Amino acid sequence: MIDIQVLASGSKGNCYRVTDGSTPLLLECGIPYKEIQKTLNFRVSEIAGCLVSHEHQDHAKAIKDIMKAGIDCYMSRGTAEALGISGHRLNIIKAKQQFRIGTWAILPFETQHDAVEPVGFLLANSAGEKLLYATDTYYIRYRFKGLTHVMVECNYSLDILRANVEAGVIEPVLKNRILKSHFSLENVKEFLKANDLGKVQEIWLLHLSDNNSDSERFKREVMELTGKPVYIALEKGEIDAYTL
């Protein structure tokens, strides 16, 4: 059974612990290493690997400390070069080339973000469960079958973003960057409609913007669309649930 723990989510840092009961992983390490240690009750050595989607510091802040702790880290070559890291704990992965960590079979795929070589991850375990992890992307070109767990960015809504630009809260240049680097509520809903959600047990909405999101609205609209339990990953690791 897949268990998801939010350590942090948002522009200040992203880090999640995911396990199938046999092989615990970190998805991202975008908060200080000491915070990761504390939240995991100093049982970091149990982590079998850390997957990093791209080089931005809110996803990779603790990467050097994670590697020093003896944890294998997995990322694209472009991400590794952008971070300036090397060593025997670094594992270079390629989009659409599957690799294994313990009981997980992991398939990276390209995402669309203002980073060198960003990826998302499809994780499958021996029990037949499939977890999709996709963040910091304005579009996902792929369709997925048999998903049981979905972790997807839902950064902003177009109407909130436009209102903030008109009010002078957001500069137009920042709006344009957001549109080309993050997943909107509207695109998330279209993505979910395009995929087979028959086996999905839960949907997690990640990386909500401080200014351009509405967590209550986002989880309500996604639950009404899908009929699935929806969880909001909040900044400090808190969870906001909206279930049937």
CA atoms within 13 A on the CB side of 179: 13
What does the mean pLDDT of the chain come to? 94
pLDDT of residue 177: 85
Angle formed by the axes of helices 185-193 and 215-226, to 10°?
A: 10
Number of domains in the chain: 1
Instruction: Report the C-alpha gap between 170 and 192 in whole angstroms.
Output: 28
> Range of 185's domain?
3-242
| Residue 159 confidence (pLDDT) above 50 | yes
How confident is the model over 136-157, as pLDDT tens digits?
Answer: 898 899 999 999 999 999 999 9
| H/E element, 34 | helix 33-39
| Residue 243 confidence (pLDDT) above 70 | no
- For residue 149, what is the domain's CATH number? 3.60.15.10
How confident is the model over 67-84, as pLDDT tens digits?
Answer: 999 999 999 999 999 999
